[in-house]
Amino acid sequence: MSVVLSSCGEQENKAKGLQETIDRSAAQITEVVGVGKVEPESKIVNLAATSGGIVTQVFKTDGDSVIGGEKLVQLENETERLKISEIRSQMRTQSSQIALEKNNIKDAEAKLSNKKKLLVTTQNLVNKGAETIQVYDDLETDVKTLTLSLEKSKINVQMAESKLQEIAGQLRTAEAEAEKKVLCAPTAGKVLNMQVTQGAALNQYATYAEFAPEGALIIRSEVDELFSQKLKVGQQVSIRYAGSQEVIAKGTIKMLSPYLKKKSLFSEKANDQEDRRVREIRISIQGNPGLVINSKVECVINL
């Protein structure tokens, strides 16, 4: 039994010694290397089509710089243009109807005003016995009829104007549908990969281009979890191409992920199994070293 106890004690001492050696080695680490990728600060955006259709024109190609709202792709929009033309014709007809009803109001107002004056004159004549009561009653009926006609014309104008507003709403909807056939840049930036050509069919919500928003480039890197606690915002980073010792740029850690995750950069498949986890960092690049988006680099972090 004592022999067994002695053996266990020796194993514990060896384990402690090994742990101390690892701890001392870790304490002597002055730099950590992580694999990284050059990206736009706002990340690469997959532009999706708001509407489907046949591509009739491609305005921009790979590498072209654009401003926000600039046309990238035109889809076939004959149906939408015909619809807009039809609605505009309806609006013109309805506007003419409103003008006609307003003229009817003016005519009714003029006739009513004249009849009212004549009614007052006839009333005076009736009072003097110079005119019959029948003539007065007929004039009074005419005034009531013209008053009703005037009210009807006013209601017709209101209804016609309401109808015009309804048609105007239809026009805005049709124009919005037509605008969906023009695919535009969401912001200023650069087209990285135009994926459609003239004559091709494009489904709604399908990606038609990869786009880099205007702004600085950064490097998104991953560091093994073993060294994750040693990372700090502001640490200096030397950047080099994978497999090379030549420093091509300098940078600074600007963001640290608050959690560890599965390794993702440059993995062949999204569901690749990884035994170790990594901490993601983002590195701001000093100056303008001319790095190419999506380049694979090594990031040497000075601890």
Q: What is the pLDDT of residue 264?
A: 75
Do 85 and 175 sit in the same domain of this protein?
Answer: yes
Q: What is the pLDDT of residue 285?
A: 94
Spatial strand order in the sheet of 65-66: 45-48, 207-213, 189-194, 65-66
Q: Residue 227's closest CA among 279, 300, 284? A: 279
Reduced to 3 states, what is the DSSP secondary structure of residue 234? coil
In a domain? residue 16: no
Q: What is the pLDDT of residue 1?
A: 33
Identify the burial level of 77 via C-beta atoms within 10 angstroms of its C-beta, where 0-12 means exposed, 13-18 middle and 19 or more buried.
buried
Tokens coding 269: 């498949």
pLDDT per residue rounded down to tens, the chain (303 residues): 333 333 444 555 554 554 554 455 555 778 899 999 999 998 899 999 999 999 999 999 999 999 999 999 999 999 999 999 999 999 999 999 999 999 989 998 999 999 899 988 888 888 888 888 898 888 889 899 999 989 998 999 999 999 999 999 999 999 999 999 999 999 999 999 999 999 999 999 999 999 999 989 999 999 999 999 999 999 999 999 888 899 999 999 999 999 998 877 655 444 555 567 899 999 999 988 888 999 999 999 988
Which CATH number goes with the domain that contains 241? 2.40.30.170
Q: Are 197 and 58 in contact (CB under 8 A)?
A: yes
Do 69 and 205 sit in the same domain of this protein?
Answer: yes
Do 82 and 162 sit in the same domain of this protein?
Answer: yes
Terminal Cα-to-Cα distance of the chain (whole angstroms) = 49
Q: What is the pLDDT of residue 271?
A: 53
Do 188 and 241 sit in the same domain of this protein?
Answer: no
pTM of the model: 0.69
Query: What total of structural domains would you count in the chain?
Result: 3
Do 225 and 298 sit in the same domain of this protein?
Answer: yes
Do 252 and 206 sit in the same domain of this protein?
Answer: no
Q: What is the pLDDT of residue 6?
A: 37
Tens digits of residue pLDDT in 13-66: 554 554 554 455 555 778 899 999 999 998 899 999 999 999 999 999 999 999
Q: Which residues pair with 54 in a beta bridge?
A: 201
Q: What is the pLDDT of residue 128?
A: 83
d(CA 283, CA 239): 10
Give φ, ψ of 192 to 5 degrees.
-90, -40
Do 90 and 170 sit in the same domain of this protein?
Answer: yes
Do 133 and 85 sit in the same domain of this protein?
Answer: yes
> Whole domain around residue 277: which residue ranges?
31-42+216-302
In a domain? residue 3: no
Q: What is the pLDDT of residue 12?
A: 54
Q: What is the pLDDT of residue 29?
A: 79
